[in-house]
């Protein structure tokens, strides 16, 4: 049986994308993205809960994100969760969970115009 690893997020960038290249020359851009939800606590107080996600984009998508997105940009991201680990120079083990984006839709009108989109996507146009 095959599994399903798919994530859909809509939120805002915490910083501009950071672009770099692998030793083989592939472009990779990463950025942090915040998603928030609001709810009422038991005491009736309105609470906003924000979760931060690390987004990884590759090749042409990385180049587009790097060129067009800035801190605060609104985006819709569709991709998969990826977990990785590495050991630093001191031998300490580190772990990271990331969203490897397969699609990024720019939701800000100015950004959409910059990439040649005629109009901003409507909520009904998003794939969810």
What is the full per-residue pLDDT of the chain (128 aa) written as tens digits?
899 999 999 999 999 999 999 999 999 999 999 999 999 999 999 999 999 999 999 999 999 999 999 999 999 999 999 999 999 999 999 999 999 999 999 998 776 666 655 444 455 555 55
Q: Residue 120 has what pLDDT? A: 46
Task: Kindly list the structural domains of the chain, giving each domain's residue range(s) and its CATH number in brackets, ordered by start.
Answer: 7-111 (2.40.50.140)
Q: Residue 118 has what pLDDT? A: 41
Q: Residue 105 has what pLDDT? A: 95
Q: Residue 119 has what pLDDT? A: 44
Let me know how long the chain is. 128
| Cα-to-chain-centroid distance, residue 15 | 11
Alpha carbons 76 and 115: distance in angstroms, whole number: 15
Q: Residue 39 has what pLDDT? A: 94
| This prediction's pTM | 0.80
Per-residue exposure over 95-124, b if at least 16 CB sit within 10 Å of its own CB, e if not: eeebbbbeebbbbbeebbeeeeeeebeeee
Instruction: Give Cα separations from 44 to 39, 47, 87 (angstroms).
Output: 9, 9, 45
Q: Residue 27 has what pLDDT? A: 97
Alpha carbons 27 and 106: distance in angstroms, whole number: 19
């Amino acid at each position: 049986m095959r599994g399903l690893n798919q994530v859909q997020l809509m939120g805002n960038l915490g910083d501009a994308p950071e672009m770099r290249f692998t030793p083989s020359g592939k472009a990779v851009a990463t950025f942090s993205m915040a998603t928030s939800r609001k709810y009422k606590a038991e005491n009736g107080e309105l609470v906003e809960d924000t979760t931060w996600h690390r987004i990884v984009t590759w090749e042409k998508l990385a180049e587009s994100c790097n060129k067009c997105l800035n801190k605060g940009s609104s985006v819709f991201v569709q991709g998969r969760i990826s977990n990785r680990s590495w050991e630093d120079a001191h031998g300490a083990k580190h772990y990271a969970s990331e969203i490897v984006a397969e699609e990024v839709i720019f939701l800000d009108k100015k950004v959409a115009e910059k990439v040649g989109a005629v109009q901003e996507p409507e909520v009904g146009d998003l794939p969810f």
